[in-house]
Amino acid sequence: MSELFYNAVPNATRVAPPLPTPRHYPAHKPRKVYLFGTCVVDLFFPEAGMDAIHLIEREGIEVDYPQGQSCCGQPAYTSGYTDQAREVARAQLALFAEDYPVVVPSGSCAGMLREHYEDLFKDEPDTLKKVHALAERTFELTEFLLFVCKVQFKDSGAPIKVALHTSCSARREMNTHLHGREMLAQLGNVERIDHSHESECCGFGGTFSVRLPDISGAMVADKTRALIETGAHQVLTADCGCLMNINGSLEKQQKALRGQHLASFLWQRTGGAQ
């Protein structure tokens, strides 16, 4: 069928650009990694960052948390304050001097490092080399655990039903939307329940949530309703922006359901924190 289309255009465009190939992962675990914790985790969900560290260390990998880190620059970038985002991004670029992988417990911040720093430094060829090298070794936590560490979890918890929310950046920038599912599937006592409109945004969108709170509020109301309707005991997500949005809304609505970062859940279910 598609042959028809290739033949339908002249040579200049007959060869369609190649499809994005699945990401290539290193064959062996590294000795050491950097953790880029993200500002939301730093300030609001530090336990998620610590549990990410525990999970990685259990794989026999040393974790370095550079104390100079702050934010990836995304809030300014998506608000249109590009110069300010660049200033912050430049400071982060200076932190990861060694060639270790950079693991990020958030799809959107990992996506910022991997996909958007290139845009920020497009006019600086020398910086761009650094940016590309960083992008190459930046991993979202779930892909690092699954494809670099090749984790095999053993569930030690009681039976539980969970709903998994995937951030839009994990889904559409990092392509890590199936990774959480795959790791949860390794946990024998965990039943993951799909929720309605699962691929739809929770309404956070960074500053969008405070610029247009009516629309963002309608989105998070629908998302939390869908999550509650699953009857799950707990919500999981690998992105603390979404988590802050979803938990904040659930608490405001005085619902019992709460979300937790996937890293914490995985750590607790597999013998950690005991």
Partner 1 sequence: MSSLIPAVVIEDFRERAHEALADKQLRNNFRNAMDSLMTKRAVSFSNAHEREHLRALGNAVRARALSKLPDLLERLEANLTRNGVQVHWAETVEQANDIVLSIARRRAAKQVIKGKSMVSEEMEMNHVLGAQGIECLESDMGEYIVQLDNEKPSHIIMPAIHKNAGQVADLFHNKLGVEYTKDVDQLIQIGRRVLRQKFFEADIGVSGVNFAVAETGTLLLVENEGNGRMSTTVPPVHIAVTGIEKVVENLRDVVPLVSLLTRSALGQPITTYVNMISGPRKPGELDGPEEVHLVLLDNGRSQAFADSELRQTLNCIRCGACMNHCPVYTRIGGHAYGEVYPGPIGAIITPHMVGLGKVPDHPSASSLCGACGEVCPVKIPIPALLRRLREENVKSPDAVPRIMRGQGSKYSRKERLMWNLWAKLNSSPALYRVFVKAATRLRGLTPNNVGPWTQNHSAPKPAARSLHDMAREHMAKKSGASR
Q: Which of 25, 29, 59, 78 binds partner 1 (CB under 8 A)?
A: 78
Q: Which of 1, 97, 158, 256 binds partner 1 (CB under 8 A)?
A: 1
Is 84 a binding residue for partner 1 by CB under 8 A? The answer is yes
One-letter identity of residue 93? L
CB of 186 to partner 1, least distance (A): 26
Residues 226-255 that bind partner 1 (CB under 8 A): 244-245, 248-249, 251-252
Is 208 a binding residue for partner 1 by CB under 8 A? The answer is yes
Is 273 a binding residue for partner 1 by CB under 8 A? The answer is no
One-letter identity of residue 207? T
Using CA atoms, how far apart are residues 32 and 21, in angstroms rounded to an integer? 27
CB of 199 to partner 1, least distance (A): 8
Other CB atoms closer than 10 Å to residue 274's CB: what's the count? 5
CB of 267 to partner 1, least distance (A): 13
Q: In what order do the strands lie in the sheet with 138-140?
A: 62-64, 32-35, 102-104, 138-140
Interacting span for partner 1 (CB under 8 A) from 72-80, 129-137, 145-153, 183-191? 72-80
Interacting span for partner 1 (CB under 8 A) from 44-52, 137-145, 150-158, 265-273? 44-52
Q: Which of 203, 227, 236, 237 binds partner 1 (CB under 8 A)?
A: 203
Closer CB to partner 1, residue 9 or residue 133? 9
Query: The tokens of 181 are what?
Result: 């599912």
The 3-state DSSP class for residue 58 equals helix
CB 145 within 8 Å of CB 106: no
Interacting span for partner 1 (CB under 8 A) from 24-32, 69-77, 187-195, 262-270? 69-77
In sequence order, the 6+-apart residues with CB closer than 8 A to the CB of 125 are none
Task: In the chain, count H helices and then E strands.
Answer: 16, 8
Is 70 a binding residue for partner 1 by CB under 8 A? The answer is yes
Closer CB to partner 1, residue 185 or residue 215? 215
CB of 187 to partner 1, least distance (A): 25
CB of 32 to partner 1, least distance (A): 12
Is 256 a binding residue for partner 1 by CB under 8 A? The answer is no
Residues 85-104 that bind partner 1 (CB under 8 A): 85, 87-88, 90-91
Q: Nearest 5°: phi and psi at 33?
A: -135, 160
Q: Which of 23, 99, 119, 229 binds partner 1 (CB under 8 A)?
A: 119
Residues 135-194 that bind partner 1 (CB under 8 A): 168-169, 171-173
The CA dihedral of 244, 250, 254, 255, to the nearest 10 degrees, is -130
Using CA atoms, how far apart are residues 173 and 251, in angstroms rounded to an integer? 29
CB of 114 to partner 1, least distance (A): 14
Angular region, 231: left φ>0, alpha ψ -120 to 50, beta rest? left
Is 198 a binding residue for partner 1 by CB under 8 A? The answer is no
Give burial (CB, 10 Å; 0-12/13-18/19+) of 45.
buried
